[in-house]
């Protein structure tokens, strides 16, 4: 199945007042994400992965323990990661967290504030490029994790509920090198908690 670049679920300038500029989304979605799509399509052409689902490609090409992942995995996983990233953000100043999600976070972390603290720490503590995640693990428990480069929860049999891109291209235009400030802003202003709750 050929990869296709999805349209953003909001206008490029819809998040500007919330800390993610039109310029960032033009570069990040229209150029960076598109490059993963285009490169991924070239790499899977004529291989056993052509015609497979994106999830199957990510799971099937991940190499546990490898120092560096292969090109098909890198582009497929980053396509998958960015699809989720755009989905879990949204415009609007007052984003309420649904009660089901709030209850689950309190049960797992003790409080919503502790979850946000752990999530921000995971993202800030990821050395180099990568992602911070809220996942539902195989046993049904909620956990905060971090991964390097394009590795994602699919690789470990987990369900991703929330993911934040901590590659510099995601925040450098708006926050320069202040990754912790970007993560705090992501959690406080950008996350569409309804979309996260729908993945529970």
| Residue ranges at the known binding site for Mn(2+) | 28, 82, 165, 169
For the purposes of burial, counting CB atoms within 10 Å of the CB of 34, is it exposed (0-12), middle (13-18) or buried (19 or more)?
middle
Round to whole Å and give the CA distance between 158 and 141: 10
Detail the residues annotated as belonging to a binding site. Answer: 28, 82, 165, 169
Contact criterion met (CB below 8 Å) for 70 and 61: yes
Round to whole Å and give the CA distance between 30 and 72: 20
Name the DSSP letter for residue 18. G
Contact criterion met (CB below 8 Å) for 103 and 115: no
With CA atoms as reference, report the closest residue to 4 among 31, 44, 42, 41: 41
């Amino acid at each position: 199945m050929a990869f296709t670049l999805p349209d953003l679920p909001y206008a490029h300038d819809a998040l500007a007042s919330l800390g993610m500029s039109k310029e960032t989304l033009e570069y990040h979605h229209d150029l960076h994400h598109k490059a993963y799509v285009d490169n991924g399509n070239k790499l899977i052409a004529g291989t056993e992965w052509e015609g497979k689902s994106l999830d199957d490609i990510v799971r099937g090409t991940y190499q546990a323990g490898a120092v560096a992942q292969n090109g098909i995995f890198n582009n497929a996983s980053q396509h998958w990661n960015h699809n989720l990233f755009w989905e879990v953000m949204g415009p609007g100043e007052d984003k309420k967290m649904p009660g089901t999600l709030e209850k689950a976070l309190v049960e797992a972390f003790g409080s919503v504030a502790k979850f946000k603290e752990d999530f921000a720490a995971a993202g800030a503590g990821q050395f180099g490029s990568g992602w911070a995640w809220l996942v539902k693990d195989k046993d049904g428990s909620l956990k905060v994790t971090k991964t390097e480069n394009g590795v994602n929860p699919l690789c470990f049999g987990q369900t991703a509920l929330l993911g934040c891109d901590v590659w510099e291209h995601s925040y450098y235009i708006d926050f320069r090198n202040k990754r912790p400030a970007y993560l705090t802003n992501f959690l406080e202003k950008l996350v569409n908690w309804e979309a996260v709750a729908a993945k529970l």
